[in-house]
Structure 1
Amino acid sequence: MQHYRESYLREIIWMEGRGGRDSQTCCPRCRKAEDLLYRCSSCLGADILCKSCIVAIHLHNPLHFIEVWNGHHFERVTLKMLGLLIQLGHPPGHRCENPDPSRRNDFVIVDTTGIHEVNVAFCRCDGMKPHYIQLLRYGLFPGTGMDPRTATTFRTLKFFQLVSFESKGSHQEFYRALERLTGNVLSKSARDRYHEFMSMVSQWRHLKMLKRAGRGHDLGGISGTTEGSCAVRCPSCPQPNINLPKNWASAPPEIKWMYRLFVSIDGNFKLRRRLVSSNERDPGYNAGWSFFVEENRFKAYLLAKWHIAQERSTCVAHEAVDRADRQARGLAASGVVAVVCTRHEFRLPTSVGDLQHGERYINVDYITFSAVQWFRVLELVISYDIGCQWHKKLLDRLAKLPSFLRPTFIKVLLVLIPKFHLPAHVEFCNRTYSFNLTKGVGRTDGEAPERGWSRMNAVAKSTAEMGPGSRRDTLDDHMGDENWTKTKRCAEIFVAKMERAVEGKVKFERDHDEFKSAIPSAYVSLWTKQVEEWEADPASNRNPYEAETKGISAQAVRLRLAQEANAKAPGAEDDGANSSDEVVMYPSLFISMGVQLEEDQYKLRVAASQLGNHPTKKQLTNLAERSNVLRRRIAVWTDYQKLYIPEAEAMRLRLDSESAAVDGKPSIEAHDIPLFLPSSLPPSVKCRSDLRSYEAQLREGQAYDALDELRRHLRSRSYLYKRKDRNSRGSQASVAANTRSNTAIKRAQLGVDGASIKYTRAYNALLQLKGEVPLEDDLEGEDWRKDLQKLKKSDIRGLSEGLFGHSEGTRSISWIWKSGSESITSTSEDDIESDEQLQDALRIEFLKSRARANRWAEEVLLLEEEMRRTLDFFAYKAEWWLARKASTIGGLTCDYDEGFSAYAHSQSAVYQTLWKECDRQWREGRARNWVKVKQKGGRKKATSTEETDEIDLDELDE
């Protein structure tokens, strides 16, 4: 290795000299006995030439840097100094007979090689174009249309655009790099054209957007451009007259749901803008033609409706609703709100707008239905993390929208909450706004905007200092690139989605069939009827997924603590946080988050223990990703712990010093990191009484929840054992049934074990908090011990199960069946027909199993429909471009016809290529999926949302 390093370094330094050419006596190009002093640092393997030759070979490369040998070393000179002239209007090397006398010897060109001062001569021959057109035809983008003195090469503008997409770097960073390429010692020696460069980049972005949108080929040209018409559209969303069948509006109910539009709303407070410039000084170029709404109409609407009061949240404390102005101080825009298509994560036309004071409904309403107006569909599903609050009085607010935004074409409107955000809501929201329990949504999770913000946030730093117009144009360009990147990857994205969906469909339909076969048909019919009635009319029918909650629930405690924290003044002394902090973590929420982290650690520990001896790379990757996410969340939480429990930080430091990292890897797994909650602190460590009280309340609710879970899983396990004893023994034909029963029992046992561990953890914490060290505000004293006792292994048994050795007449009921519920008077019920509690448990498990199977079946159907729509969209775009081969802005001359025709054909070829690639990959994917279905014993026919709504998997490969 040392030998190679020295060899490489020796050769690099050798190139600083003349490379062994000091003995040459004539120019290798012209063969004349000239002084060999010049070489090009931009050309590969360049010879040392004479002055005339170095100039001659750079007629086609006038933006290279030349080095001259001064007798000791090479120093940089410019081709301008050597006499090179860039003659516009003629091929390189040709002399103009009628040059413009105003020849520019102070012209500056920005190129990827650096910033160059050049001599430029404009042409004044008959019929010659204006100066800016001469520059454009030479591949130079002029800084102005009037008497230009600065230009940037097309390749530089394109290179910067791509680099900014990938690196999210700013204009200044890129320009400073070019300055250093020009001269890394005195980088300011180049003439400063930074502001001109920014202006040229903005114009370039705008013109490229118009070009790709076909504005040069469409009637009306640029002046006929309408709002949203330049946005890169999602090829898979339903678009009438483009990718929907002709009779889609009159389709029967069993397939009509496949033509729904799914959109998601989310606010982003990273993409803020400071009080810099104004719309008058920096109006921007796009004017609502892409993703941002048209600014003037949007601001006029906000001004007219700003007086409308924002209703307070009736769910948990949503800061975006209740404390809307917290992040708006000193900003022109506190962030943006955006609408994306939920299924494919594409930004929609005119779907982004600024926020001024949190996620105010007037902003969200305008932007949401500005995006929806482009899809004239009949059914709309909206996902929003505060949808439970936003949808209230939505119809009244829609009537106040401008007439062109009112969605009068929408017949069915569903508002749901994204899956990740839903558990933070109250129990009513979890039952009412769940994607998992809603018919006709497939496996949609509603979290599409969150995945897109990660890349957009990378440009937040640079756009925060821009003027309003430049910021909107820049973000429009980045959003358009993200949409186009997803468009190019449609083929592989849908292949991966479909493979996962088919596997899920086979697995969960098989699970549901096994569960269904173990339940009497009368109850199957009854429960199916109940859930279908609820799905058809949730407002008039009881939710069959709802169970009677016994005792105190952890969710109820969390809600009460959140409401108490929200009611406190931000500057109250007992908050333990500075009111000037950007984020306030109240003590109750701090403890609640810690308890949740403890639960997540247990789940991760279980997942790690379930890995086999030879886990797959996918399993290890998923586990590592979950571990990294949990580790980051714990790190954030421990930062607040330093404020509330400073002694815990000292304990953590001592633990870290005792177990140092090995090979750069953390020595403690994420699921083993000690949290040092109040219940786990040693007696010698002092802890605030309010923190202990909050944890005690949460632990009590957690214990009651764990008991409810334990009873539910025990009921299921007991019934499965009885069913197996009656029907899964004896004949050879019952082997398959016996296997299914064992699988179901194993699943139920895992639930029993998990609930037992959860209860024991909560009970032990309660002993520390309330039993051994009673709290002053414990109004119930020791009453909690009546319902919550130490859980022994012998206590974990079914309702009609006795201890070993007990007969029917002497057996007793475990205390877990009496805790937090009414006394059970009958102990001999061993049939589902006479056990109402068992019925309740089985009903919920059956309906959840049914919902899982239906959602996966719907996902397969939705993906098939979306793949068909994608192919139709690509075919439509290919034909659309072929119909626009002629120039519409070329004037009366035919000089431009060939260029316009060539571009139209090239764009048509792009969409034909996308169509062919999707068709090829999807056909291969269907064949692979069919093999998997056969190997895993999937149904030949699979249901979608109804038991009679069937598709034939034999047709998947056709």
Structure 2
Amino acid sequence: MKIHQEWVRDYREAYLRDMIWLEGRGRRTSQTSCTGCGGKDDIVYRCPSCIGGAMYCQACIVTLHQHNPFHFIEMWNGSHFTRTTLKSLGLLIQLGHEPGQHCANPDPSRRQDFVVVDTTGIHEVNLSFCRCDGMRPHFSQLLRYGLFPGTGLQPRTAATFRALKFFQILSFESKGSHQEFYQAIVRLTGNVLSNTSRDRYHEFIRMVSQWRHLKMLKRAGRCHDVGGVAGTTQGSGAVLCPSCPQPGINLPADWASAPPEIRWLYRLFVAIDGNFKLRRRLVSSNEKDPGYNEGWAYFVEEKGFKEHLSSEWHLPQDRSTCVAHDAVDKPDREARGLAASGVAAAVCTRHEFRLPNGVGDLQKGERYINIDYIAFSAIHWFKVQELIISYDIGCQWHKKLFERLRKLPPHLIPKFLVVLLVLIPKFHLPAHVEYCNRTYSFNLTKGVGRTDGEAPERGWSRMNAVAKSTAEMGPGTRRDTLDDHMADENWDKTKKCPEIFVTKMERAVVGKRRHEQDHAEYKASIPARFVSAWTDEVEKWERNPAGTPNPYEAVTKGVSEQAVKLQLAKEAEAADAAEEGGLGVMQPSLFISTGVQLEEEQYKLRLAASQLGNHPTKKQLTVLAERSNHLRRRIVNWAEVRKLYIPEAEAIRLRQDSASTVVDGKPPIEAYEIPLLLPSALPASVVCSPNLIDYEAQLREGQAYDALDDLRRHLRTRAYLYKRKDKHSRGSQTSVSANTRSNTAIKRAQQGVDSAAIKYNRAYKALMVLRGSEATGDDDEEEQWRRDLRRLRASDIRGLSEGLFGDSEGSRSVSWIWKSRSTPVTLSSEEDIEALRIEFLKSRARAHRWAEEVLLLEEEMRRTLQFFKYKAEWWSSRQKSTIGGTTSDYEEGFSAYALSQQTVYETLRLECEKRWEAGRARNWVKTVQKGGRKKKIPTDDDDDDVDGLSGDDD
């Protein structure tokens, strides 16, 4: 703020004054001779792109720009500067010779209408080709001059290499479109009458596409590898993940025969997801715009993909047996006006690299036929034995998977696969049913470390920014453009391997120590016989999850309110049978049960009354009045029985009725406001039968457990509904009715959450009154309900994957409502043991996942170093051309590029070794100095997002 004020006060006018000074000739108003030659005639030219702003004559300004022919020149007309061009001043660009040299046999046939697109603007230039003996074709002369021709035959347009590279890098960072960049160049050419410049927009698009394609081939070494460009195979142009297992590149020679205890280190982790933002409108066609990459990078080869879809498209898709996944139940929803409703992608889960041939178009939702082909097009690249696939609907997709795989093209069927495990990403898992949360969880699965499975979601968040421009492209141009953006992300992740692994390992080491210590302390408090039995049980399940009961599932089921009512009714029936000469009145247990039921009906009536609008209809008022009268009669009848069991309550009622007599025309008390005066609502001075107190306490406990189960169920439903709305009911293409349906469903789920919370708080408050608010024994002796049921605050009512406001994914904590379990009213040692067992297994799982994460990271770092070494040796051994050209000038260029790439990978390897050795020296625990004290860096239980990276490798 202070700097802002100082600049406004002291510098604003001074800055502006000197900027306007440049509009004139400044101190050169009296200049009488040319700065270049000293001549005294025609000193009216200057170049605003060159530093200094010196004034020159026409001959000198042209000579000075032989090496910078794409600058605009300003000419002093006696009153101000006007723009002119080097072409009008006589500058000639002579190809085939050094700038400024003359050609003995020029070809000036295209001199008058040649246009060059540069970062400085769009230039009409005088350009002459060379026809000397042995000179090269026109396109080759342009390329050697640093100009990319618009066509290979009789070119009339070109773009400078720097303009194409600048647009490519700018599009990576800003996700801007061709049109936006081109229009900016047009305005640089002339910001008043910009339409006077030659229109080369379509030629610019074609040059960019060809540039992207050639850069991909260059980086992939197709000019140096056996077979050359013609020998390029599917996916070989992709930038590979250096840390994923790749036999023959970064795995040990004996990896396939490794013992079972370490074989999981060589697993491949793949995540699949669909994205409906990257759609393409129904414009152009593959015949008109086939593209250049032909499946050589990240998109699948289009022809084979479409043939497979057409042959299997008629097959039906089974409905979901989990929650209502639209991707499963509505896979054929029409994508009107779209050639592609989105894309699906397979990425490496742990490093977020796009996999070769791991991207393909979707036509109508996430049909299995699309996902199968795309996923295994990427997976077949890796000849691994164990595979972990993460997919947000994996619980449904994996059913009949092997049956569907037999229908894929033979070359896509994995031939070496021994273990295939499908899991659900951590963020998506809470919206699934409880069975999925136990069976498909990364947290409970052996050999996955701290993998979260959400890699595609983080990648989409960056890629969606380019969706606006690619939606209007033809199919080939769109695929090539997205291929280039994906390659950029992969390459920049490669560059950041040294620092990324340091951050991950520091977090993993601290997490491993903390959770292993927590588990050891918890384990020490449990009898050894239980630890041994539980460990054997979970190890059997980890070895054979399909054929062994899930140990994380509670065997003892919690009692419900209805079960308590049934139990009390049976007790009342037994008491009636045993009582001789009874009065024939309601038994105490039934009296309490009826009172609690009336309390619940009062709440429902109060809610119905509050939901009436400002102008309710007569029918609504009639229905409400009938419900109110019916409830009032039931309460009156019940109150007659209350006189027998709680006589003091009648005196309290009379005093309350006296205080609520109609005054000044005010209406009498509503039925839902009549106090029931159950034992939990009586003043402390009123003595009540211990049996009544115990009956209500039992019922309230069951009611609280029921409410807690309802609360969790409604929160899971709400989480799913929010996710579904975010995915399918947002954006300009979404209809009002779809948004309304989503909001109505969410509102209904929220009402369920609110009702369950109110019911729980009512039961908990009564329970605390009936059984005392303070614990009376040690923790081990504490009643089960005190361990399960706590005070419910507003901040506790959140989904399983939701944190408090301001919490990040790595720092959030799980609300206690998800840690509590429903238990019977009467505790038994079996139930106590089960509670200990489940908590022990979860503690063990946390410690093991963090320990596995450290081992996985060590193996991935070893693989990364080996990959960089392999790539450096690969480039070092390929310094010759495989696409023709054996002259010395060609040989030097091919050798120079190969050795420069060798240096790139050697630099990355050495940087990794340096940083990682420093981390090992301090045992991977980073400390920061602050205020004279050292402390460890804070760590979280969950991995933070790793941002996508972008750049170029040459």
What interval of TM-score do these two structures reach, taking the shorter chain for normalisation? 0.7 to 0.9
Instruction: Tell me the alpha carbon deviations over residues 265-285 of structure 1, each in whole angstroms, 9 at most, x when there is no partner.
Output: 000000000001000000000
Q: CA deviation at 1:932?
A: 6.8
Code of the residue aligned with 1:757 in structure 2: it is L
Of 168, 184, 192, 1:177 maps to: 184
Q: Distance in 2 between matches of 1:561 and 1:479?
A: 34
Q: Distance in 1 between matches of 2:761 and 2:383?
A: 47
For residue 221 of structure 2, give the secondary structure of its aligned residue in structure 1. Answer: coil
Of 917, 926, 936, 2:920 maps to: 926
Q: How does 1:496-511 map onto structure 2 within 5 Å?
A: 496-511=503-518
Code of the residue aligned with 2:513 in structure 1: it is V
Are 1:877 and 2:912 matched, yes or no?
no
Code of the residue aligned with 1:920 in structure 2: it is K
- 1:589 corresponds in structure 2 to 746
Are 1:328 and 2:335 matched, yes or no?
yes
Q: Distance in 2 between matches of 1:523 and 1:143?
A: 76
- 1:140 corresponds in structure 2 to 147
For the 8 Å contact 1:463–1:471, the answer to whether it is kept is yes
CA 1:566/1:92 → structure 2, altered by over 3 Å: closer, same or farther?
closer
- 1:636 corresponds in structure 2 to none
For residue 851 of structure 1, give the secondary structure of its aligned residue in structure 2. Answer: helix
- 2:96 corresponds in structure 1 to 89
- 1:789 corresponds in structure 2 to none
Q: CA deviation at 1:892?
A: 4.8
Structure-1-length-normalised TM-score: 0.73
- 1:864 corresponds in structure 2 to 858
For the 8 Å contact 1:355–1:363, the answer to whether it is kept is yes
Q: Distance in 2 between matches of 1:706 and 1:386?
A: 41
For the 8 Å contact 2:72–2:85, the answer to whether it is kept is yes
Of 306, 315, 320, 1:308 maps to: 315
For the 8 Å contact 2:788–2:822, the answer to whether it is kept is no
CA 1:579/1:410 → structure 2, altered by over 3 Å: closer, same or farther?
same
Are 1:907 and 2:901 matched, yes or no?
yes
- 1:757 corresponds in structure 2 to 792
For residue 65 of structure 2, give the secondary structure of its aligned residue in structure 1. Answer: coil
Code of the residue aligned with 1:696 in structure 2: it is S
Q: Distance in 2 between matches of 1:534 and 1:106?
A: 76
- 1:162 corresponds in structure 2 to 169
Q: How does 1:316-465 map onto structure 2 within 5 Å?
A: 316-326=323-333, 328-465=335-472
- 2:138 corresponds in structure 1 to 131
Q: CA deviation at 1:761?
A: 8.3
- In structure 2, the gaps of 5 or more residues are 1-6, 561-705, 725-733, 768-772, 798-815, 928-932, 937-954
CA 1:458/1:93 → structure 2, altered by over 3 Å: closer, same or farther?
same
For residue 205 of structure 1, give the secondary structure of its aligned residue in structure 2. Answer: helix
For the 8 Å contact 1:703–1:758, the answer to whether it is kept is no
Are 1:839 and 2:874 matched, yes or no?
no
Of 257, 268, 274, 2:264 maps to: 257
- 1:39 corresponds in structure 2 to 46
Instruction: Tell me the alpha carbon deviations over residues 314-357 of structure 1, each in whole angstroms, 9 at most, x when there is no partner.
Output: 11111111122446122100000000000000000000000001
Q: How does 1:695-844 map onto structure 2 within 5 Å?
A: 695-696=754-755, 755-757=790-792, 822-824=824-826, 835-844=829-838
Code of the residue aligned with 1:587 in structure 2: it is T
Structure-2-length-normalised TM-score: 0.74
Q: Distance in 2 between matches of 1:312 and 1:559?
A: 20
Q: Distance in 1 between matches of 2:107 and 2:752?
A: 87
For residue 21 of structure 1, give the secondary structure of its aligned residue in structure 2. Answer: helix
Q: CA deviation at 1:890?
A: 2.3
Of 89, 98, 113, 1:106 maps to: 113
For the 8 Å contact 1:107–1:119, the answer to whether it is kept is yes
Of 507, 520, 524, 1:513 maps to: 520
Are 1:220 and 2:227 matched, yes or no?
yes
Q: CA deviation at 1:220?
A: 1.5
CA 1:851/1:701 → structure 2, altered by over 3 Å: closer, same or farther?
farther
Code of the residue aligned with 2:405 in structure 1: it is L
CA 1:139/1:562 → structure 2, altered by over 3 Å: closer, same or farther?
closer
Q: CA deviation at 1:480?
A: 0.2
For residue 285 of structure 2, give the secondary structure of its aligned residue in structure 1. Answer: coil
CA 1:562/1:144 → structure 2, altered by over 3 Å: closer, same or farther?
closer
Greater than 6 Å deviation, 4+ residue runs:
558-567, 701-708, 716-719, 759-762, 935-938
For the 8 Å contact 2:150–2:203, the answer to whether it is kept is yes
CA 1:894/1:717 → structure 2, altered by over 3 Å: closer, same or farther?
farther
- 1:604 corresponds in structure 2 to none
- Would you say how many aligned residue pairs link Structure 1 and Structure 2? 738
- 1:78 corresponds in structure 2 to 85
Q: Percent identity?
A: 66
Of 871, 879, 884, 1:890 maps to: 884
For the 8 Å contact 1:340–1:448, the answer to whether it is kept is yes
Code of the residue aligned with 2:830 in structure 1: it is E
Instruction: Tell me the alpha carbon deviations over residues 555-610 of structure 1, each in whole angstroms, 9 at most, x when there is no partner.
Output: 5556789999999xxxxxxxxx9774368416343343x4xxxxxxxxxxxxxxxx
Instruction: Tell me the alpha carbon deviations over residues 851-885 of structure 1, each in whole angstroms, 9 at most, x when there is no partner.
Output: 00000000000000000000000000000001110
For residue 895 of structure 1, give the secondary structure of its aligned residue in structure 2. Answer: helix
Q: Distance in 1 between matches of 2:345 and 2:259?
A: 33
Q: Distance in 2 between matches of 1:562 and 1:317?
A: 13
Q: How does 1:487-566 map onto structure 2 within 5 Å?
A: 487-547=494-554, 548-550=556-558, 551=560, 552=706, 553-554=709-710, 555-556=712-713
Greater displacement, 319-328 / 442-451: 319-328
For the 8 Å contact 1:122–1:131, the answer to whether it is kept is yes
For the 8 Å contact 2:721–2:746, the answer to whether it is kept is no
Code of the residue aligned with 2:68 in structure 1: it is N
Instruction: Tell me the alpha carbon deviations over residues 251-275 of structure 1, each in whole angstroms, 9 at most, x when there is no partner.
Output: 0011000000000000000000000
Of 282, 289, 300, 2:289 maps to: 282
For the 8 Å contact 2:271–2:456, the answer to whether it is kept is yes
Q: Distance in 2 between matches of 1:864 and 1:226?
A: 32
Q: Distance in 1 between matches of 2:899 and 2:335?
A: 49
For the 8 Å contact 2:715–2:753, the answer to whether it is kept is no
Q: CA deviation at 1:493?
A: 0.4
- 2:208 corresponds in structure 1 to 201
Q: Distance in 1 between matches of 2:501 and 2:723?
A: 44
Q: CA deviation at 1:937?
A: 14
CA 1:66/1:837 → structure 2, altered by over 3 Å: closer, same or farther?
same
Q: Distance in 2 between matches of 1:518 and 1:564?
A: 42
CA 1:121/1:440 → structure 2, altered by over 3 Å: closer, same or farther?
same
Of 13, 19, 23, 2:26 maps to: 19
For the 8 Å contact 1:890–1:897, the answer to whether it is kept is no
For residue 105 of structure 1, give the secondary structure of its aligned residue in structure 2. Answer: coil
For the 8 Å contact 2:714–2:753, the answer to whether it is kept is no
Instruction: Tell me the alpha carbon deviations over residues 621-645 of structure 1, each in whole angstroms, 9 at most, x when there is no partner.
Output: xxxxxxxxxxxxxxxxxxxxxxxxx
CA 1:104/1:721 → structure 2, altered by over 3 Å: closer, same or farther?
same
For the 8 Å contact 2:255–2:263, the answer to whether it is kept is yes
Q: CA deviation at 1:222?
A: 1.0
Q: Distance in 1 between matches of 2:777 and 2:144?
A: 83
For the 8 Å contact 1:316–1:562, the answer to whether it is kept is no
Q: CA deviation at 1:35?
A: 2.3
Q: Distance in 2 between matches of 1:330 and 1:578?
A: 15
For residue 315 of structure 1, give the secondary structure of its aligned residue in structure 2. Answer: coil
Q: CA deviation at 1:696?
A: 3.3
For the 8 Å contact 2:431–2:717, the answer to whether it is kept is no
Q: Distance in 2 between matches of 1:566 and 1:475?
A: 26
Of 831, 845, 858, 1:851 maps to: 845
